[in-house]
Amino acid sequence: MDWKSKFGSYALITGASGGLGKEFAIQIAQKGLNLILVARRADSLQKVANDIKNQYGVNVETIVSDLTSPKAIESLVTHIKKNNFDIGLLVNNAGFGSYGLFHELSIENELNMVDLNIRVPLELTGKILPGLIQKGKGGIIFLGSVGSYQPTPFFANYSATKAWNLLFAEALYGELKPKGIDVICLTPGYTRTEFQSTAGNKDQKPLAGWSLPEQVVKSALDNLGNEPSIIPGFMNWFLAWSIRFTPRKLAIWSAYHLLKS
């Protein structure tokens, strides 16, 4: 597939300074698309950009931004329009989680999580989507989690935000497929990134084992246009879909005992 013909010349990736965002940037650059990378950490972001430019020869623009700050999305979109960047692929990757009993967690941090995990992809998609519809082509990737499929004690708010991403992405898949726009929600299990340490759960030993960022991102890009959502790894898929046949109470208590440290 010629990715430039299908999606346009630029991909916009949020949360691109590390983890899955960095891996999305690498693999999309390998396909020949130019990149606009957005993150808060300036030094890490610039290093990712320099490495990709040197290795793949694509144009890489960096924008240092806290996307939860007032008018951050508006400023980002204004910059894109001012420079006539042809955005054809949007990767809504930015997000974070927290681990612990909800009543013991910072409510300010939890509200910020809702902002970054839900409002930011909603607003950014709403701003970018009209241009894709006008061209009749493009793609949007959302980041969910295996936690999207069930209530998850100790990750209560995080799994709820990721359930939103899954349902929103799958609904857009139905709305936009007839218009030539591909949408997918990537719902990985435990992946070797900074996420666990940031969430405060770095010692977790996942039942389905660890996934590698390279494999997780490849599964999303390989299935973009074919599936509304993808769960990388057979055991992750099995555990997520087994919830359909598990009584809700049993699913909750199973997750509680697996995640309790």
List C-alpha distances in Å: 76 to 64, 119, 129, 141, 159.
10, 15, 14, 18, 27
d(CA 98, CA 113): 9
Contact 155, 255 (CB under 8 A): no
Is residue 163 a contact partner of residue 243, using CB atoms and an 8 Å limit? no
DSSP for residue 218: H
Active site members: 158, 162
Measured between alpha carbons, how far is residue 44 from residues 58, 89, 92, 102, 160 in Å?
18, 22, 19, 31, 29
| Buried b / exposed e along 66-76 (16+ C-beta atoms within 10 A) | ebbeeebbeeb
Q: Largest Cα–Cα distance of the chain, in whole Å?
A: 53
Strands 181-186 and 229-230: parallel
Strands (DSSP E) along 19-157, which ranges?
Answer: 34-39, 60-64, 87-92, 138-143
The dihedrals phi and psi of 219, each to the nearest 5 degrees, come to: -65, -35
